Amino acid sequence: MTHRQDAQCSETRAVVHRAVWRADRRVGVMVAAAVVGAFALLHPLPAVAHEAVGPAHCQPLPAVQAWLDLHIVKWDAILATEPGYERPSSVTVCAAPPGRPFADNRANRIFVRGIETVDQQITVAHEYVHIAFQHYPSGHNEGYVEHTARRLIAEFP
């Protein structure tokens, strides 16, 4: 085998290797998409992300505030077993623009709409979990936050 043939040979190997790698990667992407799809079916993630700096003005929602204050006490036993949980001394509930709930971690404020439906209650719990785990990676993981919020509402409706 001449030097040139040898070089071609390793070039071919490299091309084959790259093709195999690309195929593997494509399968990997498809598997990942299927896993994400299955996860989304089980735990539909909210459409918007929820950590932001809120406006200086807070329009209070007294009924939601009372509901949250009561539930924070109940949720404490569940959340205390989770790493990174820090029960905030207080969380203020403010009215959010329609469809745009979020948590202002620095101000310990959550911006939500209400508690009339289970979905709205999950949203309140969700934004609270962002606050209660704000100094830990899980508090910024939407999957973890949503899963935990659903668990809280399932156990303490």
User: Which residues bind to Zn ion, rule: CB under 5 A?
Assistant: 50, 142, 145
Find the shortest distance in angstroms from Cβ 44 to Zn ion: 13
Residue whose beta carbon is closest to Zn ion: 50
∠116-53-145 over CA atoms, to 5°?
Answer: 55
Query: What does the CA dihedral 104, 156, 142, 34 come to, rounded to 10 degrees?
Result: -160
Instruction: Report the residue number, 82 or 142, with the smaller CB distance to Zn ion.
Output: 142
The whole-angstrom separation of Cα 30 and Cα 121 is 34
Find the shortest distance in angstroms from Cβ 49 to Zn ion: 6
Instruction: Report the residue number, 18 or 106, with the smaller CB distance to Zn ion.
Output: 106
Find the shortest distance in angstroms from Cβ 142 to Zn ion: 5
b/e sequence 112-140, b meaning 16+ C-beta within 10 Å:
bbbbeeeeebbbbbbbbbbbbbbeeebbb
Find the shortest distance in angstroms from Cβ 6 to Zn ion: 57
Instruction: Report the residue number, 92 or 128, with the smaller CB distance to Zn ion.
Output: 128
Instruction: Report the residue number, 50 or 147, with the smaller CB distance to Zn ion.
Output: 50
Cβ atoms of 94 and 60 within 8 Å: the answer is yes
